[in-house]
Every structure is written in structure tokens, then in C-alpha cells.
């Protein structure tokens, strides 16, 4: 914070000195003091060179200071490709930026006003115009081509073994749905939405495929190293699923499902070690202004090992059971011993992992 304050003070001082110099220059011109004007012009030329040098040093310093520290390493396979495209784009535009800025400030200094020099007007040149039109057009076409290639991969068909999760945005939170044992999402109808009856998505209970669907608001669980396909919806206005650590984002549009898929590379526990932050969590942000509570629309992603995912899934109750609790009946027969149920659960996990 102190560093930023010092920079702000220096910048403010520079602006004040510059404005004073300009005011003095205008007064001198009005008084006809030609010599003062020429001296001030030289001062401005040196200030331009100083600004160029300090600006380039500042850009390099900021790059070294914050490189890799804001977002960290991409946590998905597609994220790596997005980072590669970003670095290529920054390299190309960065080289062009540095060259053009050096030429701009150097020309301003070297060709400042002088009575010994007459201006040469150069209004038109077909070759130059073709060069600075065609070369950028080709470079941008290549960059856009790579972007479209990766975009179609991200939004294309996911692998058959991918886990499918539905994420629905609402003002101001996220709803996650997982298919049950049948691996099929049940039907839903927006007029069936009833928060009081715990039917946040409007599932149709007469559809048997909907009766084992799991719906939760707590967190979205994924398996490390396994592709995950997100089916994205909105319950009210346009939202946007932003997964900054995975370098992914996609609009959530009412009535128009969108999809994207990727493969998480690291578990949440591994990222805590990589970042050195014991409180690290993968986050879901809404990247589309959606109302007065937009700032609070945050979700959590848990990337876990397969066994941990299965244990978590086994503890979840289908939304149908939560929305339609069974009526009270006579006392049930005694449950099986704890040891038997533990063995049964362990056996089921081993079978699933082997498959």
C-alpha cells in the first residue's frame, strides 16, 4: 500500500510540474518571448524521453512483480491452452506496443520545433498503407483462428466418461444438480419451481428419471483427472459462470442451456499446497452484471479424489425425497449392524472405482 501511495504522489507531482511548465510556456508565447518558447520546447522533449524510459521500466517491473501471482497456474487442461493463447497475444501486441511507443516519443524529441528545419508533408503512400493493413489483418486472423479452434473444443462434445453436472444461476446464487444412478437428468418445468417445497428447479416428480436427481446449493464437486461437462442454465436473468482458476466462462441464459467441458488437474488439497494458502478454494463467480446482489454471487468448487467423491455422493439425498418426505409410520425393524453397512459401502466404492 505504501508503494502505491509513493507512486501516486510522484505521479501527481509530475502532473503539477508539467502543468506549471505549460502555463509558463503559454504566457511566454503571449508575451512574444520566442527564446523562452524554444527552451520550454526542449524541456518538453526531454520530459517525453524521461516518460518513455520510466514507463518502460515500470511495465517491466510490474510484470516481474505480479507475473504468475494473481491467478496462478491454470488448473485445467483447457486452461493451459487459454494461457498459451494469452501469452502469444501479449507477446505479439507487446512487441508492437514497445516499437510504436519508442518511435512516437523519439520522433517527438528528435523532430521538435526548429527554425533550421522545414516540415515535410507525407500525406499518402499506397505501399505503407497496404503493409500496415495487411500484416495486422493476417496476425489477427491467425489469433482469432486459434481462439475459435479452442472455443469449439471447449463447447464441443465431451468425452463419454465425463461427469455431467447442471449448474443454474439465480439471483443471487448457484444451484447444482447431479443425475442419480440412472445417469439421466429428469424433466423440469419452470412453473413447478417452489422454494417452500424445496423444488428449486421445478422438477417433474411424475418423471421417474427426476426422482433420483440430487440438487444442492453448497458446492459443486468434481473428480480430479476426469472430464466434467457443465450444463448451464439461468432461472431468472442472464448470469455468467466464471471459473477463473480453470480459465473457463460461459453465459447462463434463461431458456437457452449452454455447455462447456474441461478436466480438472489438481484437487483442492493440492492447490492449497501449491498456493501456500490453507484457505484456498476454487471459486465460481458471476461475470455478468445481474442485479444489486451481483457482488455476492459466489460459489465453491471442490475437486476431490474419486473415493472422496463417491463418499460425498452417497451421503446426498435425492431432491424428490427432500421435497416429499415420507409420512410417519410404525417403528421400523432394527437396522443392520454398523460393521455390515460399512463393508457394503466399501464394496460398492471398490466396484465403482474398478469400473
DSSP string, 33-51: -HHHHHHHHHHHHHHHHHH
Q: Are 274 and 72 in contact (CB under 8 A)?
A: yes
Tell me the C-alpha to C-alpha distance, in Å, between residue 83 and each of 96, 148, 344: 20, 15, 45
DSSP code for 193: -
- Which residue, among 254, 318, 317, 246, has the nearest Cα to 284 in the 3D structure? 246
Grid coordinates of 339: 460393521
Tens-level pLDDT at each residue, the chain (355 residues): 577 777 878 888 878 877 777 776 666 666 656 666 667 777 888 888 888 888 888 888 888 888 777 777 899 999 999 999 988 998 998 899 889 888 888 888 888 777 777 777 778 888 889 998 999 999 999 999 988 998 898 988 999 999 999 999 999 999 999 999 889 999 999 999 998 899 999 999 999 999 999 999 999 999 999 999 999 999 999 999 999 999 999 999 999 999 999 999 999 999 999 888 899 999 999 999 999 999 999 999 999 999 999 999 999 999 999 988 876 544 555 544 444 444 444 455 455 445 4
pLDDT at position 53, please?
87
pLDDT at position 351, please?
54
pLDDT at position 347, please?
53
Q: Residue 222: exposed, middle, or buried by beta-carbon count in 10 A (0-12, 13-18, 19+)?
A: buried
Q: What angle do CA 271, 261, 268 make, to 5 degrees?
A: 15
pLDDT at position 115, please?
75
Grid cell 460425498 in the structure block, residue: 312
Question: CB under 8 Å to 156, separation ≥6 — which residues?
Answer: none
Grid coordinates of 214: 440430487
Tell me the C-alpha to C-alpha distance, in Å, between residue 12 and each of 15, 22, 45, 204: 5, 15, 20, 63
CA distance 154 to 242: 14
CA distance 156 to 262: 11
pLDDT at position 327, please?
63
CA distance 188 to 204: 5
Q: What is the largest CA-CA distance in the chain?
A: 108
SS3 state of residue 13: helix
Tell me the C-alpha to C-alpha distance, in Å, between residue 21 and each of 8, 51, 104, 106, 182: 20, 15, 21, 21, 77
Model pTM above 0.95: no
Q: Are 46 and 106 in contact (CB under 8 A)?
A: no
- Rg of the chain's alpha carbons, rounded to an integer? 31
Amino acid at each position: 500500500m505504501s508503494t502505491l501511495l509513493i507512486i501516486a504522489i510522484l505521479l501527481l507531482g509530475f502532473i503539477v510540474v508539467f502543468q506549471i511548465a505549460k502555463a509558463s510556456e503559454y504566457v511566454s508565447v503571449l508575451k512574444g518571448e520566442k527564446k523562452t518558447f524554444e527552451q520550454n520546447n526542449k524541456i518538453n522533449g526531454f520530459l517525453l524521453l524521461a516518460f518513455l524510459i520510466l514507463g518502460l521500466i515500470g511495465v517491466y517491473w510490474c510484470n516481474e512483480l505480479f507475473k504468475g501471482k494473481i491467478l496462478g497456474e491454470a488448473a485445467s487442461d483447457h486452461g493451459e491452452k487459454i494461457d498459451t493463447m494469452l501469452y502469444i497475444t501479449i507477446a505479439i501486441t507487446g512487441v508492437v506496443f514497445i516499437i510504436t511507443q519508442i518511435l512516437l516519443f523519439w520522433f517527438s524529441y528528435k523532430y521538435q520545433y526548429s527554425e533550421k528545419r522545414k516540415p515535410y508533408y507525407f500525406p499518402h503512400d499506397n505501399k505503407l498503407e497496404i503493409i500496415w493493413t495487411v500484416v495486422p489483418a493476417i496476425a489477427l486472423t491467425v489469433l482469432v483462428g486459434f481462439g475459435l479452434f479452442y472455443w469449439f473444443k471447449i463447447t464441443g462434445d465431451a468425452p463419454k466418461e465425463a461427469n455431467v453436472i447442471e449448474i443454474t444461476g439465480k439471483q443471487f446464487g448457484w444451484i447444482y444438480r447431479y443425475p442419480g444412478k440412472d445417469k439421466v437428468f429428469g424433466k423440469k418445468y419452470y412453473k413447478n419451481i417452489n422454494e417452500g417445497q424445496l423444488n428449486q428447479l421445478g422438477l417433474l416428480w411424475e418423471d421417474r428419471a427426476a426422482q433420483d436427481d440430487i440438487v444442492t446449493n453448497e458446492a459443486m464437486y468434481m473428480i480430479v483427472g476426469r472430464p466434467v461437462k457443465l450444463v448451464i442454465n439461468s432461472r431468472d436473468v442472464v448470469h455468467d459462470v466464471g471459473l477463473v482458476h480453470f480459465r473457463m466462462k460461459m453465459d447462463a441464459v434463461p431458456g437457452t442451456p449452454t455447455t462447456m467441458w474441461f478436466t480438472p488437474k489438481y484437487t483442492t488439497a493440492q492447490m492449497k499446497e501449491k498456493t501456500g494458502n490453507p484457505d484456498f478454494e476454487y471459486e465460481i463467480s458471476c461475470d455478468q452484471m445481474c442485479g444489486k446482489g451481483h457482488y455476492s454471487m459466489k460459489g465453491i468448487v471442490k475437486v476431490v479424489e474419486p473415493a472422496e467423491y463417491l463418499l460425498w455422493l452417497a451421503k446426498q439425498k435425492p431432491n424428490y425425497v427432500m421435497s416429499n418426505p415420507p409420512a410417519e409410520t410404525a417403528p421400523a425393524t432394527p437396522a443392520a449392524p454398523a460393521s455390515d453397512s460399512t463393508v457394503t459401502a466399501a464394496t460398492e466404492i471398490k466396484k465403482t472405482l474398478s469400473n
